[in-house]
Amino acid sequence: MEGHSAVTGFEMAIVVPKKREKERDDTADCVEFLVRELKKAGLIVERVFGISDEFIKLAAPVEILGRVAAELQMKKLTYIGIELQFEWDEVTAFVRQPDGSLFSWCERFRCFQHLIYGIVNKTDSDMMLLFDGKEFQFRRNESLLKMMETDEVVKQVFPTHDEVKRKQLLRTWALNWLDFTWQPIDEIYAYFGTKIATYFAFLSMYTRWLFFPAALGLALQLVDIGPLQPLVLPAFFIFVVTWAVFFFQFWKRKNSALLARWGINYTLSEYKAVQIAQSSFLHVHDKCEKKFGDEPIEKKILQRDEWLGLLLRIRNNAIIVLAIICLQLPFELAYAHLYEVTESDVLKYALTAAYLLAIQYYTRIGGKVSVILIKYEKDQGEESSAASLVYKVFGLYFMQSYIGLFYHALSHRNLLTLRQVLIQRLVVSQVLENMIENSIPYLKYSYKKYKAFHKKKHEKGSSEKMVHLVTRVEKEYLKPSYTASIGEELEDGLFDDFLELALQFGMIMMFACAFPLVFCFATLNNVTEIRADALKLLVMLRRPIPRAAATIGAWLNIFQFLIIMAICTNCVLLICLYDQEGKWRIEPGLAAILVIEHALLLIKFGFSHFVPEEPAWVRANRMRTVAQARDVFSKQLLRSISNIERKHL
């Protein structure tokens, strides 16, 4: 457990170019001045020289972080269950993390950011700083680091791996294949933050639950039960939908339990939404009072802004829908038709691979267009913008992934071809995506390393011996960051990981009746995906910037939408199976399918309320917290009223 004098590991690094010449006056040297100011702020500084850059590694005593947290008015959970503003002098009142540390990685990162970007020129005049013979003006009240970034003296600021913890996670998590789905979620939370830990908790639980439909699908593929065979697919369909409904209800319970265990009462999105709403209201109120005096019109302005934001979102969504219909749909149908008329299996696999490569670029362009469109929407905060981006980009990928399957299932009603396409999509797309996902970071790292070696050899001359990377921080700097393929403005690399899961879930659910064995492919893929993602984060990429979103957010709504789509598509598939002549007569079998559809919709919307979204102990703790908070604030209010009355007497 951390004491007051404990020190964090070196968790941040600042990259500056190596100086070609030494400055005559060290007091005016830009980098030397930065190092002195960092030390004055209480940070522990270690300077490391690489091939072509210098790295300033930063650590901080816990006391310094605590005082910065108090300055930031950071809210933390106390032992009585109430979130209060952090005070360093009352540090024993605040709940510690599961690993015993006082601050989570997200909180520490926020404190580091405030410390290093909070170094400003507090003198009465501008200062002149030097770097490699060039002069830079450090203006009054200007952030030193932002000035150095603007003038390209600072190349980058990034979080660094803690080698001890990283190697421990490699041993106990990424390279631990004894338990296929077990993961040290608390350790992942302590090292990577809430959002990544939540993703791996979801992936682990999803993979464990997949074993049930995978085992049943395998049994249906291997066992023939004779005259009852026509009832097998409807029964499997009902089981799969019920399984999905209960899985997401139990996931909500697990998510709430994780938040309670980590001491998180409210998600960052809720907290930010309140802040944004308050700041927006105050801005409108001030604006109205300045303009209209005693007759503020906040209501009209807020209503106008609300409808303006809604219209902007409708416009942007319409642009995306038109792009899908006019550009993507013809391309998808052309591929589906070519696949249908191609006879060679080898050519079909080659066509699928070429299609998947081509469509990757198209959807990435669509994603970047979505990012641009969101910038013109009414600002509703980072989390709301990220959710809007998720919905738009998923629409593009939904069309890309499923329109060909719908074409084979509904237009040609060829279930044999549909099964072949499902296998090829799952095998080819998963293999291709894993190759791209794991090879591109390595290729980027190799290219950056080659450039650094080439530049060093060019500076030293061709007779220089082979140059080697000798520092861990330089190796991390050359690695790519954990960013989304559509851009890093609103989302990190988890966007691509969740997108992959959502597309897989839609594929196995919407075409479950066509090929029950597809659940086995998904299970095998997810078992390897857990370790591959862990290795990617620990070995191939830089340590990600922590994000505090504690739920899967917009992706939960997408998964729920896919369940409803699965009910509809599987009923159509059953009709195709039992109405081979295509006359669509309402016979007893078809009528039964319609009954099944309505029953499953009832299960989807009705059974969700049978399983509470949070465990009883979490709900009891929350109610106890509310009661304690009410008692504390009521007593404070009574004291305030009594003091006011005494002053009047």
Domain membership flag for residue 413: yes
Top pLDDT among 554 and 457 is at 554
Domain membership flag for residue 285: no
Are residue 593 and residue 634 in the same domain, yes or no?
Answer: no
119-167 tens-digit pLDDT: 888 888 888 888 877 888 888 888 888 988 888 888 889 999 988 899 9
Give Cα separations from 390 to 197, 374, 499 (angstroms).
20, 11, 9
pLDDT, averaged across the chain: 77
Are residue 529 and residue 579 in the same domain, yes or no?
Answer: yes
Are residue 199 and residue 340 in the same domain, yes or no?
Answer: yes
Are residue 387 and residue 510 in the same domain, yes or no?
Answer: yes
Are residue 189 and residue 134 in the same domain, yes or no?
Answer: no
Top pLDDT among 635 and 292 is at 635
Q: Which residue has the tokens 């404190």?
A: 111
Domain membership flag for residue 287: no
Predicted pLDDT at 342: 79
Q: Is the pTM of this model over 0.85?
A: no
**Helix or strand holding residue 134 (H, E):** strand 134-138
Contact 316, 395 (CB under 8 A): no
**What average pLDDT score do residues 597-626 get?**
70
Predicted pLDDT at 24: 59
Are residue 551 and residue 639 in the same domain, yes or no?
Answer: no
Top pLDDT among 465 and 193 is at 193
CA–CA separation, 52 and 20 (whole Å): 10
Predicted pLDDT at 58: 92
Domain membership flag for residue 556: yes
Burial of 38 (0-12, 13-18, 19+ CB in 10 A): buried
Total Cβ atoms within 10 A of residue 293: 8
Residue among 593, 504, 524, 550 at smallest CA distance from 230: 593
- The parent domain of residue 642 ranges over 623-648
**What average pLDDT score do residues 5-10 get?**
76
**Helix or strand holding residue 432 (H, E):** helix 430-460
Predicted pLDDT at 510: 86
CA–CA separation, 614 and 620 (whole Å): 10
Residue after which a domain boundary falls, among 109, 138, 160: 160
Domain membership flag for residue 326: yes
- DSSP per residue, 615-632: -HHHHHHHHHHHHHHHHH
Are residue 208 and residue 109 in the same domain, yes or no?
Answer: no
Least confident of 9-13, 102-106, 221-225, 508-512: 221-225
Domain membership flag for residue 600: yes
**Helix or strand holding residue 76 (H, E):** strand 75-77
Q: Which amino acid would we find at residue 112? A: F
CA–CA separation, 27 and 598 (whole Å): 77
Least confident of 121-135, 169-183, 319-333, 410-424: 410-424
Top pLDDT among 117 and 590 is at 117
Domain membership flag for residue 408: yes
Are residue 113 and residue 228 in the same domain, yes or no?
Answer: no
% of the chain residues with pLDDT over 90: 14
Are residue 321 and residue 456 in the same domain, yes or no?
Answer: yes
Confidence of residue 91 (pLDDT cuts 50, 70, 90): confident
Q: Which two tokens stand for residue 283?
A: 């801005």
Give Cα separations from 15 to 247, 541, 545, 630 (angstroms).
46, 17, 16, 49
Q: What is the DSSP letter of 606?
A: H
Q: Which two tokens stand for residue 368?
A: 């970047």
163-218 tens-digit pLDDT: 889 999 999 998 887 777 788 999 999 999 899 999 999 999 999 999 999 999 89
Predicted pLDDT at 466: 53
Are residue 255 and residue 136 in the same domain, yes or no?
Answer: no
Are residue 518 and residue 574 in the same domain, yes or no?
Answer: yes
Residue after which a domain boundary falls, among 144, 160, 176: 160
Confidence of residue 577 (pLDDT cuts 50, 70, 90): low
Q: Which two tokens stand for residue 484?
A: 């989304």
Domain membership flag for residue 286: no
CA–CA separation, 186 and 196 (whole Å): 11
Query: Could you give the number of structural domains in the chain?
Result: 3
506-522 tens-digit pLDDT: 888 888 888 888 898 88
358-373 tens-digit pLDDT: 776 777 777 777 777 7
Q: Which two tokens stand for residue 617?
A: 């102990």
**What average pLDDT score do residues 401-419 get?**
68
Greatest pairwise CA separation for the chain in angstroms: 98
Predicted pLDDT at 490: 57
Are residue 128 and residue 181 in the same domain, yes or no?
Answer: no
Cα dihedral value 429, 433, 434, 439, nearest 10: 140
**Helix or strand holding residue 533 (H, E):** helix 518-535
Residue after which a domain boundary falls, among 128, 160, 192: 160
Q: Is the dihedral of CA 42, 48, 54, 57 positive or negative?
A: negative
Least confident of 89-98, 289-298, 527-536, 548-557: 289-298
Top pLDDT among 281 and 565 is at 565
Q: Is the pLDDT of residue 465 over 60?
A: no
Predicted pLDDT at 637: 65
SS3 120: strand
Predicted pLDDT at 352: 72
Contact 148, 30 (CB under 8 A): yes
Q: Is the dihedral of CA 18, 21, 24, 30 positive or negative?
A: negative
Predicted pLDDT at 583: 47
